[in-house]
Amino acid sequence: MISKQKMKEALTFDDILLPPYYSEILPTDVDPTGKFSRNITLKVPIISSPMDTVTEHSMAIALALQGGLGIVHKNLSIEQQAEEVRLVKRFENGFVQDPVTVSPEDTVEVLHQIAIQKGYKKIPVVDRDQKLLGLVTELDYFFPEDRNKTAKSIMKPVKALVLAKDGTSLDKANQIIKEKRLNVLCVVNKAGKLTAIVTRRDLEKNNNYPLATKDRFKHLQVGGAVGVSADLMERAQALVAAGTDALVLDSAHGHSKGIIEALKKLKKNSKTKHVDIVAGNIATAQGAADLIKAGADGIKVGIGPGSICTTRVVAGVGMPQITAIMEAVQGRGKKDIPIIADGGIKHSGDITKALAVGGDSVMLGSLLAGTEESPGETLLIDGQMYKSYRGMGSLGAMQHGSKDRYGQANIKDNGKFVPEGIEGRTLYRGPVEKTIYQLVGGLKSGMGYLGAKNLTVLRKNAKPVKITGAGKDESHPHDVVITKNAPNYFGK
């Protein structure tokens, strides 16, 4: 029965502002480093949502290079999702420990297909025992004239290669590449077997992207989504085998028996327990506490705040996002488990607010869906470019695999789903790098206003105030006709 006490007030981003604080800090001096999970730190605390119109390998790569993180969606077959993860892990590698290789009998046709499908143009040639025999590059053949020639007939033999011994440090390997002007450096053990390669391209990427999110092997980091479904363990194990750095146990109602039992199962399994597992979504203190008790390495917060989500109007359930974040922080207590604010963010200032009230990072959907790297379809309508964008609770997404997220896994008839999201389009915004630059710039500006050199000080100095509708109107451009759009403002 509902209590006779006064009904609790709940607030979202547009309901509050952060008053400025005495500052000796410039925006260029702040460090916005946050956390995604127990063991994953982000120099840019932004994560792309595991939605099928937001995150596949292109988005995950682009975000990781900028210092954020991408979570590959699960509306794919297990092998397809695992391959998306592999593409991220192989994009930038310090040591490529499982390089693509060919046998000496493989033809130029095989090499050409590898170049087209995977982008690799410098391929080691090995025998059945993985002993290095030579190296073939795109300069060693012409296609299609040489399509029937074997790798053995065109390769540069191992005796002509500069090699590194197994155990060589990455710094030393990079030094060899620079000194010898190499494109590829092969690493071999005492038996002459290939153990890894290092490429000049990756060295250049290391220099160009100093904030990149990487694991201890200098590979880009990435996450993969799983759900409470029959293929949970098979999918999770395949993603871990592909190299995922985290699993995101994703549900519209994370404070549920199914999620808690799945979380415990993943934390106990010998093949999945060593990677971080983020669980959600929740919106209450008890929800956060129960998931942490079950072993979650990160908590995803947000029930219905997304622009394409209709949960709150279809089901009548949810919590305004600022209050939901504060609830999760309360439920976390003194545990060092990151809180990810997922959904409802429309402007860079909303990121500042989410982190100020206790979030450790934010997850974005709509702000990234319009970028070049999102997998959504590009549309041209009346001379304006758009990208398709849909909620994972939309009818189309549920028909393609997300029905378990909304507790409808047992429904076989596609006409019987009860959607909790819509399908639409969003303005095309170009490369995601430009969007991230503006979002981080706004966050740093906010931190500068609050005299916060890092997120810990931001939370200490932030004293949010509730504002009225008039205050919200006053916060946006008003009494003027905008004649030229700013790159970081898209209206109310």
Q: Which sequence positions are flagged as catalytic?
A: 309, 405
> Can you say how many angstroms the Cα of residue 35 is from the centroid of all Cα atoms in its chain?
12
CA 390, CA 384: separation in Å to the nearest integer? 19
Helix (H, G, I), strand (E, B) or coil at 89: helix
Q: What are the Cα distances from residue 297, in Å, to 32, 223, 289, 335?
A: 21, 13, 12, 10
Neighbouring residues of 101: CB distance < 8 A, sequence distance ≥ 6: 123, 124, 125, 126, 130, 194
Say which residue the tokens 């549309």 belong to.
379
Separation of alpha carbons 39 and 275, rounded Å: 9
CA dist 150 → 100, 112, 143, 186, 359 (Å): 17, 12, 13, 21, 56
- What residues contact residue 168 under an 8 Å CB cut-off, 6+ apart? 176, 187
In sequence order, what are the residues at sequence separation of 6 or more whose Cβ sits closer than 8 angstroms to the Cβ of residue 304? 310, 311, 312, 317, 318, 319, 343
Tokens 């494109």 correspond to 183
Identity of the residue numbered 365: G
**465 is written with which tokens?**
């105030």
Q: CA-CA distance, 389 to 365, in Å (whole number)? A: 9
d(CA 284, CA 330): 9
Measured distance CA(335)–CA(38) in Å, rounded: 10
Cα–Cα–Cα angle for 282, 464, 20, rounded to 5 degrees: 135
CA angle 343, 2, 358 (to 5 degrees): 30
Examine residue 45 and say whether the peptide bond preceding it is cis (omega within 30 degrees of 0). no
Cβ contacts of 381 within 8 Å, gap of 6 or more: 425
Burial class of residue 179 (count of CB atoms within 10 Å of its CB; 0-12, 13-18, 19+): exposed
In 243-286, DSSP assigns E strands to 246-250, 276-282
Q: Which residues, 6 or more positions from 221, have their beta carbon under 8 angstroms from its beta carbon?
A: 40, 64, 69, 213, 214, 215, 245, 246
CA-CA-CA-CA dihedral for 104, 106, 108, 112, to nearest 10: -120
Residues 351/342, Cβ–Cβ less than 8 Å? no
